[in-house]
Chain A
Amino acid sequence: MAAPILRLGCAGRRCALAGVKGASRHRRGAPNGFALNEMRVQSSMAPRPVITAQKPRKGEHEWAPVVGLEIHAQISSNSKLFSGSQVHFAAPPNSLVSFFDASLPGTLPVLNRRCVEAAVMTGLALNCRINKKSLFDRKHYFYADLPAGYQITQQRLPIAVSGILTYGVCEGNKRNQIITKTVRIKQIQLEQDSGKSLHDHPQSQTLVDLNRAGVGLLEVVMEPDMTCGEEAATAVRELQLILQALGTSQANMAEGQLRVDANISVHHPGEPFGVRTEVKNLNSARFLAKAIDYEIQRQIYELENGGEILNETRSFDSKLGCTVPMRDKEGKQDYRFMPEPNLPPLVLYDADSLPAGADSQQVVDIDYIRERLPELPSVTRDKLVQQYGMLPEHSFTLLNEVGLLAFFQSVIKETRAEPKLVTNWVLNTFLGYLKQQNLTVSESPVTPSALAELLTLLDGKVISSSAAKQVFEELWTGKGKTAAHIVSEKQLGLMQDQEALEQFCQAVMEQHPQVVTDVKNGNLRAVNKLIGLVRKATLSRADPTAIRKILEKQLSL
């Protein structure tokens, strides 16, 4: 039921894509427009220098920054939280709007079971206590993309509380040490998303798209257990992986499916927390880390220079790389919460409380969902370490890059090469190429099968390691040729003919008597020089190990 029907309800004079003049203030709760595609930037975020906020400067008090997060994750569901309209990103404006979404008088909310299940799954994955009874509330504020004048949320009694999220931060000189940290989850609540306002400043108009109005959100509230931008960004990344593993949210920050507000304050250790500011609408992990670190530094600077921190809402200006106060007074407005009278309490069951003969379509059973939870990222990482003898930090990298784990697993499946070799190639060569060209895994010109074939050749000593690099380069820029094809075309295969190789060795020794003498005089390093010369003579097609064997035999070492 889309815009055309909606227009009927407008007495034919105005559609939901309403033009509102002069509505140009900042927006609360959600980004105004489309975010830049930050996914790939974010993946390279891990090896950033640790910020210096915690480190006291000489002769100064030590400052302890405190960071808490409120994260809105759009629930991955076919229809909206309280209406039957579909959920799609980038559908034509106002094409996914039911009578309820447009707040036609007399319409009532009907809770989407799928959204409830998604909230329970997420709660369980974050080690929360699931409330068997939760309530819905109305939160009031006037805005053009909030048609009812209130948002239905769970302010008093949310669906899940008291959880823990564990995440790993890289530390050490080479940033190859994973330190496990935790952040407490205060609560997870179900709520409605708002529509989108597109401000057309030159014409002083605001265009409203209600496609997003009423889409289900999970608001995850994290306690202020973090101390810097990197921790926050890493915790958000871990949450993102969990949501994606559960399938409860696509959690794509670029598409606004994951949006983060950060609460930031600084104080001296042992003293009460400082006044906090809220930085809103952070829609990339990189900006999140930057905004938090900037805000911490700003607050310290303010306080050290006799200023004071206002309890205010700020936004992050990604161009200037700093936070600025949001000028509207919305942050301080009274939301006049009240119970949503049209929704009875949301009651969940477990194996013990499930009424006999209950229709499984009518009830949500927490235990049933718990038993069917998919594998979580932490378990996947442990398995990688155990199964393939991989370093923990490698398992983190594999999961952090979108699609990289699946790529790795496909290669493993199709190659005879050792897992260590595969890990090495996927994380260094393959990922290196992607990063260099700013591509995602799915955009890679090299398929898992092609890499698998290459690694099989390398593992079977058909080609040398350096030849393999050359083949990979060909595959990357390639014209659809297979690794074997490239090897034969460029004659990159290792010499398999023992006699021919022996002849090469003999010839090199004859041509370089001085080096042979050096070896015989006990300079064993000179052997390496001979090996290099043989390889050069074979145009790098010989396996150095095989050459060494022959040389050692011929020199009777």
Chain B
Amino acid sequence: MTAGDIVKITVSAGLKQGQITPTELCQKCLSLIKKTKFLNAYITVTEEVALKQAEESEKRYSKGQSLGDLDGIPFAVKDNFSTSGIETTCASNMLKGYVPPYNATVVQKLLDQGALLMGKTNLDEFAMGSGSTDGVFGPVKNPWSYSKQYREKRKQKPLRANEDSDWLITGGSSGGSAAAVSAFTCFAALGSDTGGSTRNPAALCGLVGLKPSYGLVSRHGLIPLVNSMDVPGILTRCVDDAAIILGVLAGQDPKDSTTVQDPVKPFVLPSLTDVSKLCVGIPKEYLVPELSSEVQSLWSKAADLFESQGAKVIEVSLPHTSYSIVCYHVLCTSEVASNMARFDGLEYGHRCNNDVSLEAMYAATRREGFNDVVRGRILSGNFFLLKENYENYFIKAQKVRRLIANDFMDVFNSGVDVLLTPTTLREAIPYSEFIKEDNRTRSAQDDIFTQAVNMAGLPAISVPVALSNQGLPVGLQFIGRAFCDQQLLIIAKWFEKQVQFPIIQLQELIDDYSAIIENEKFASVSLTQ
């Protein structure tokens, strides 16, 4: 049994054939959400909304008027997407209690397909982080910390004294979404991806994490981190599910002027049988000293796999890769400084009690509303944007960004179809280990393989490849040509089929886990092929 077997067809087919009703499915997920509450995956659980939607979905099924593959399918949304009538916090004091009056386009599109919104998932405050540890609602715990696979390996080693601090991080910043999908509380989740925030937790949680091409999916309603790099991301248990979701989300949105006008075709993924015409590029700059030998070896094996199946695998160069982190730092903080200016306590969100003067109110509101990470980035960004610094920092960073994008262009123009890289340096690490470094250091380290893609606006996907010696997931990343998202997904699907990544075993986490997994109806929906 592998994760790849949990194919969308089985879920929706189950619903269509009446083997399970949307309400039953919804209740299963709600029950799992409660059982896994300690993971801290959700900030808000929208139980009533979900049950009401399930009821409506059920009516449609009973009339034979299902809206499609996603009708009745539970999904979760990162808490930086606006949801009408549902609190949207960005895991920040600044937006606690803020209830948007509108839905983000991507949320609306899923709702229009009859999908069930289970809740809003946890993240680093305003998506600034790579661990999902720096939100006001506390850190997210990786479900794999409690998996049979991980626990079995650990028994061979001495247990640590403080068991509670021994859990693993999910990666981030879309860690809540990743944990939610990984723990079976929903079938798909929306994340956001600015420097790797979808792909990174996908890799650490054994999921498929898709970052579509910039401009393919609307950002309207996504509370921005870096407008020029943000993309709604998709977290699922298999590539086909990601393709279905992307098919629904993609397309021009009149409310987002950066979406492309070309009509988008539905993403149907034919099964690739022959990779002999494929050229896979291996960027040599991605072989960094910090890369764990295990990940490196899996990366190398993956390359061999393609080669053994007839694909052309070549080493390529992305010479400006090493400048990516510092370039990203300047561009990201500058846009953050600008985007965060609206949080002034006047129109919405937190407002301090200080009313001495307008300036004092602004200062106190923002000091109370933002955490150190956000305030630090605002400070740096405003520094880079100062008149005397603009040329030396922002303009230079923009030029470097262009060079980084050109690196990719050159490689793809030379005939490479797809790049194969690691997603992360290593598998998930314990929280206690993670917090030894500060947010900035972690973000810089952890985005190393993912961030350049955002600078270039390219589509990329992290696919789980195998478990490490510790029994934890490792993901590899494929990077495609701009707007060739479908080709990327087809290749990822082929790869997914070859590697047969194992399904997470959560028996020790959820006492009646086997009952849930082996429950006849549930199993027939999610686990049979």
Q: Which residues of A contact B (CB under 8 A)?
A: 5-6, 8-12, 14, 16, 18, 20-23, 25, 99, 102-111, 138, 140, 142, 144, 147-150, 206, 208, 334, 336-338, 341-344
Contacts and interface: CB of A to CB of B under 8 A. Distances in A.
Nearest to A336: B385
A106 B82 contact: yes
Interface string B220-256: 1111101110000000000000000000000000111
Contacts of B357: 21-23
B222 A109 contact: no
B276 interface: no
B356 interface: yes
Contact of A149 (B100, B342, B355): B342
Which among A9, A110, A140, A343 has the highest number of chain B CB atoms within 10 Å?
Answer: A9
26 contacts: A5-B101, A6-B101, A10-B347, A14-B348, A21-B357, A21-B361, A102-B347, A104-B347, A105-B98, A105-B224, A105-B343, A105-B348, A106-B219, A108-B219, A108-B258, A110-B255, A142-B341, A149-B341, A149-B342, A150-B341, A337-B390, A338-B385, A341-B335, A342-B257, A343-B257, A344-B257
Contacts of B351: 14
Nearest to B388: A334
A9 B334 contact: no
Contacts of A111: 257
Interface of B: 81-82, 85, 88, 90, 95, 97-102, 104, 219-224, 226-228, 254-258, 334-335, 337-338, 340-344, 346-348, 351, 355-362, 382, 385-387, 390, 394
Contact of A336 (B255, B337, B344, B360): B337
Given A334-B387, A337-B390, A144 B254 contact: no
A28 to B, nearest CB: 13
A144 B342 contact: no
A5 B347 CA distance: 13
B346 A106 contact: no
B99 to A, nearest CB: 5
Contacts of A110: 254-255, 257
Contacts of B346: 18, 20, 144, 147, 208
B172 to A, nearest CB: 19
B382 A336 contact: yes
A198 to B, nearest CB: 14
Prevailing SS type, chain B contact patch = loop
Contacts of A334: 386-387
Prevailing SS type, chain A contact patch = loop
B342 A148 contact: yes
A20 B387 CA distance: 30
A140 B256 CA distance: 22
Contacts of A336: 337-338, 382, 385-387, 390
Contacts of A102: 347-348
Nearest to B253: A108
A148 B224 CA distance: 13
Contacts of A11: 97-99, 348
Given A11-B98, A206-B358, A334-B386, A342 B227 contact: yes
A95 to B, nearest CB: 16
B15 to A, nearest CB: 31
B335 A23 contact: no
Contacts of A12: 99
Given A111-B257, A150-B338, A20 B98 contact: no
B362 A142 contact: yes
B379 to A, nearest CB: 12
B511 to A, nearest CB: 38
B355 A9 contact: no
B222 A106 contact: yes
A159 to B, nearest CB: 16
A20 B359 CA distance: 10
Q: Give the 9 A-B residue pairs with the shortest CB-CB distance, closest first.
A: A149-B341, A336-B385, A23-B358, A341-B227, A341-B228, A8-B101, A22-B357, A21-B355, A105-B223
A98 B346 CA distance: 16
